[in-house]
Amino acid sequence: MDVYSPPVSPALYSQLAVVLLAIGVVFSGKFFVYEVSQSKSRRSITQELYLAATASVFLGIGIFFLALTVGIPV
């Protein structure tokens, strides 16, 4: 039996939360700018999904590490 070590070192949780959330906010900003600046007919669904996926990966993991930093039991 080995001592369990978590997949990511707990010392990095707060930095990870800040960095990932910052990147996530930038991508979601780009997504919403794209949504409002292009008219309905000229919007590309692939471009929209690409921005949405990137933003949600960063925001999701960022929020998860934020929860860990503040001590919400996960």
Partner 1 sequence: MWRNSGVWAVLAVVLAVGAVGTGASLVNEDVTRTINAQTHLTNVEAKVTVKNTGSAAVHAYQVSDANIDGVLAFVSAKFEDSDDELPVRDGAVQVNIAAGKSVNLVITQVYTHAQKPFPTEIHQKDDQLVKFTGNLYFASEYPTTTQKTSVVVPGRLESFTKSKPYSNKGQELSYGPYTDVKANAHKDLSVHFESYTPFLTVTKLVREVTVSHWGYASISEDITIVHSGAKLVGEFSRLDLQRDPRAGRTALRSFTTRLPAAASGVNYRDVIGNISTSNLREEEDAVIVEIQPRFPLFGGWKTQYSLAYDVPSGEILSTEGSTYVMSTRFVGHVFDNQVVDEAEVRVVLPEGAADVQVNTPFPVDEQSEDVKVTYFDTTGRSVIVLKKANLVEEHMQDFTVSYTMPAGSTVREPLMAVAFFFALFVVAIVLNRVSLSIAPDVQADKKKQ
Q: How many angstroms separate the Cα of 30 from the Cα of each of 45, 47, 54?
A: 14, 11, 11
CB of 54 to partner 1, least distance (A): 10
CB of 59 to partner 1, least distance (A): 5
What residue ranges bind partner 1 (CB under 8 A)?
Answer: 1-8, 10, 13, 24, 28, 31-32, 35, 40, 43, 45, 48-49, 51-53, 55-57, 59-61, 63-64, 67-68, 71-74
Nearer to partner 1, 18 or 57 (CB): 57
**Tokens in use for 71?**
């001590």
Q: Is 55 exposed, middle or buried (0-12, 13-18, 19+ CB in 10 A)?
A: buried
How far the first Cα of the chain sits from its last, in Å, is 24
CB of 70 to partner 1, least distance (A): 10
